[in-house]
């Protein structure tokens, strides 16, 4: 699953858990909402649990719950839980250093990408899961 997709599925999952007011949800039920395989959801839930954002209850009435109130979870928390490497990639191979563009492109592009990443993180860090849930409820 692509990095961007993992983030979207993780936010979707957390929003579902946050809207259920403490009722545990199974990976099968969440997968039905996301329209994906329950194995994908279990991987996402595992990453979220490792980051202490969700917890699981075992047994016939078990499932997953948010470990914190939606007011205490930011989208940056979720993104960091599911994205191993959040750095944008540059060239796969080093550019030709004999070319003026090849010589200068990576440091220039790195500065631009660093600024873009800082702006993205600032938005995610100030957006709460509770805000996402509120916006979803407003759409209904």
How many CB atoms are closer than 10 A to CB 112? 10
**What is 3-88+128-139's CATH number?**
1.10.10.10
Reported residue count of the chain is 140
Burial state string for 22-54 with b = 16 or more CB within 10 A and e = fewer than 16: eebbebebbbeebebebebbbbbbbbbeebebb
**Residue-level pLDDT at 116:** 92
**Residue-level pLDDT at 4:** 62
Residue 125 CA to residue 118 CA, distance in Å, equals 10
For 72, list phi and psi in degrees, rounded to 5.
-115, 10
Q: What residues does each domain of the chain span?
A: 3-88+128-139
Over its length of 140 residues, how does the chain's per-residue pLDDT go in tens digits?
555 689 999 999 999 999 998 899 999 999 999 999 999 999 999 999 999 999 999 988 899 999 999 999 999 999 999 987 656 677 777 888 999 898 999 899 999 999 999 999 999 999 999 999 999 999 98
78 burial via Cβ count (<10 Å: 0-12, 13-18, 19+): buried
Torsion sign (Cα): 128, 122, 11, 134: positive
**Residue-level pLDDT at 88:** 64
């Amino acid at each position: 699953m692509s990095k961007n997709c993992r983030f979207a599925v993780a936010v979707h999952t957390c929003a579902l858990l946050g809207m259920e007011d403490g009722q545990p949800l199974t990976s099968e039920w969440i997968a039905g909402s996301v329209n994906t395989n329950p194995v994908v959801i279990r991987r996402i839930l595992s990453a979220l649990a490792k980051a202490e954002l969700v917890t699981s209850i075992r047994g016939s009435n078990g499932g997953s719950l948010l470990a914190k109130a939606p007011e205490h979870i930011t989208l940056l928390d979720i993104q960091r839980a599911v994205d191993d490497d959040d750095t944008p990639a540059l060239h796969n191979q080093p550019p030709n250093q004999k070319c003026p563009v090849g010589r200068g492109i990576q440091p220039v592009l790195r500065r631009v990408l660093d600024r873009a990443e800082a702006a993205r993180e600032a938005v995610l860090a100030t957006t709460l899961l509770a805000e996402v849930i509120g916006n979803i409820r407003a759409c209904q």
